[in-house]
């Protein structure tokens, strides 16, 4: 529980933020716990109440409060007598947390008491047995032990608006709408420890960070658009060439082909053995006076045989 994970549904982004705790006392890591959140009337703080759950197979009791945006853990005075896990928590009338069913400590005879329902007053931080709804909706008030750490009162007005060591990721300043540009320093005297929680300084103003991030993102988007346009043009050109067909004698290029992969020309053909091979003599021969004389030559005259005559 020394680090918590935040998911920003507006940008689909995960963040991780370290937490602090009174007297450096953190709740143990756990699973199968339940939680509800209550906001101060002026929305200057949000308090998450965590109850029960398993730690290495052991059922936890008591209630821890994680206050935001300071990300500070505060252990409530509620005892561990109603330890549960695998249970359900629901906030009712803005100030009550109803705990339903779940798995209790082995041998706990009160596990199913009141049909498995137990009720916590989120303002007085004590177990109660009934909820008075006759007066209509109740306005939530920040518990005294929480306002002593954050500053302000039950109606809100929290003095601190960021973690003790600041947000580990600058984008979280905008997520939690932290606009203060000057550090807030106030020593709060509490029984266990003195806590100093400061807001971000002007040097880490989110507006300048947003400008830099915006210009960088804009440049990347422009490059992506240009590359996409080039790829679309090339694909359309290739598709058009395929539709028009190839010109006579033109062979399509084979991807990955090399000159060595070309098909070699066929070797010259030779007649099989057993046939006559002959050359015709020159039908135009010169006489002794140098004139060309025509001679009628028999087709078989002057035959040079390559093979023995057939019998």
Burial 204-233, CB ≥16 within 10 A → b, else e: eebeeeeeeeeeeeeeeeeeeeeeeeeeee
d(CA 224, CA 247) in angstroms, rounded, equals 35
The count of residues in the chain is 311
160 assigned to some structural domain: yes
230 assigned to some structural domain: yes
Identify whether residues 210 and 154 lie together within a single domain: no
Range(s) of the domain holding residue 10: 3-203
| Strand, coil or helix: 199 | coil
148 assigned to some structural domain: yes
Judged on CB neighbours under 10 Å (0-12, 13-18, 19+), 61 is middle
46 assigned to some structural domain: yes
Tokens of 246: 């190839």
What's the pLDDT score for residue 132? 79
What's the pLDDT score for residue 205? 46
d(CA 151, CA 144) in angstroms, rounded, equals 10
Single residue among 241, 264, 287 that ends a domain in this structure: 241
Contact 305, 276 (CB under 8 A): yes
Identify whether residues 115 and 237 lie together within a single domain: no
Identify whether residues 86 and 229 lie together within a single domain: no
Identify whether residues 191 and 213 lie together within a single domain: no
115 assigned to some structural domain: yes
291 assigned to some structural domain: no
Identify whether residues 185 and 110 lie together within a single domain: yes
56 assigned to some structural domain: yes
Identify whether residues 172 and 210 lie together within a single domain: no
Identify whether residues 93 and 131 lie together within a single domain: yes
d(CA 274, CA 49) in angstroms, rounded, equals 107
Judged on CB neighbours under 10 Å (0-12, 13-18, 19+), 32 is middle
pTM over 0.75: no
Domain total for the chain?
2
Identify whether residues 171 and 199 lie together within a single domain: yes
Identify whether residues 186 and 233 lie together within a single domain: no
Instruction: With residue 144 as reference, give the H or E element that holds it.
Output: helix 144-150
d(CA 287, CA 129) in angstroms, rounded, equals 144
Among residues 94, 100, 132, the alpha carbon closest in space to that of 118 is found at 100
What's the pLDDT score for residue 23? 85
Tokens of 223: 């490059």
188 assigned to some structural domain: yes
Identify whether residues 91 and 211 lie together within a single domain: no
**pLDDT digit string (tens) for the chain, length 311 residues:** 899 999 999 899 999 999 999 888 899 999 999 999 999 999 999 999 999 999 998 888 889 999 999 999 999 988 777 888 889 999 988 899 999 878 877 655 555 566 678 899 999 999 998 887 777 778 899 999 999 999 999 999 998 888 988 888 888 888 887 655 333 333 333 333 334 444 444 444 444 455 555 556 666 667 777 777 767 777 777 777 777 665 444 555 555 555 555 555 556 656 555 555 555 555 555 555 555 555 544 445 444 555 455 54
Identify whether residues 71 and 218 lie together within a single domain: no
Residue appearing with tokens 């290029």 = 253
What's the pLDDT score for residue 155? 92
State the DSSP code for 263: P
User: How far is Cα of residue 279 from the mean position of the Cα atoms in its chain?
Assistant: 85
Single residue among 191, 219, 241 that ends a domain in this structure: 241
What's the pLDDT score for residue 212? 55
Identify whether residues 128 and 152 lie together within a single domain: yes
């Amino acid at each position: 529980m020394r680090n918590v994970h935040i998911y920003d549904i507006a940008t689909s982004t995960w963040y991780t933020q370290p937490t602090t705790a009174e007297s450096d006392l953190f709740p143990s890591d756990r699973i199968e716990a339940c939680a509800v959140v209550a906001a101060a009337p002026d929305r200057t703080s949000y308090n998450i109440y965590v109850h029960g759950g398993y730690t290495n197979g052991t059922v936890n009791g008591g209630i821890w409060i994680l206050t935001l945006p300071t990300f500070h853990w505060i252990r409530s005075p509620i005892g561990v007598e109603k330890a549960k896990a695998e249970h359900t928590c629901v906030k009712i009338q803005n100030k009550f947390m109803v705990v339903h069913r779940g798995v209790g400590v082995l041998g706990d005879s009160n596990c199913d008491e009141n049909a498995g329902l137990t009720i916590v007053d989120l303002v007085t931080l004590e177990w109660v047995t009934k909820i008075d709804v006759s007066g209509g909706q109740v306005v939530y008030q920040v518990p005294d032990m929480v306002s002593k750490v954050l500053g302000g009162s039950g109606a809100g007005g929290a003095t601190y608006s960021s973690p003790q060591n600041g947000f580990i990721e600058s984008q979280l300043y905008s997520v939690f709408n932290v606009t203060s540009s000057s550090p807030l320093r106030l020593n709060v005297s509490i029984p266990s420890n003195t806590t100093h929680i400061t807001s971000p300084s002007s040097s880490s103003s989110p507006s300048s960070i947003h400008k830099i991030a915006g210009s960088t993102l804009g440049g990347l988007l422009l490059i992506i658009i240009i590359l996409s346009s080039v790829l679309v043009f090339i694909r359309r050109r290739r598709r058009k060439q395929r539709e028009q067909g190839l010109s006579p004698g033109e062979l399509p290029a084979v991807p990955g082909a090399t000159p060595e992969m070309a098909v070699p020309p066929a070797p010259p053909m030779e007649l099989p053995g057993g046939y006559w091979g002959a050359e015709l003599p020159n039908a135009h021969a010169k006489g002794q006076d140098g004139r060309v004389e025509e001679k009628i030559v028999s087709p078989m005259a002057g035959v040079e045989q390559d093979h023995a005559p057939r019998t």
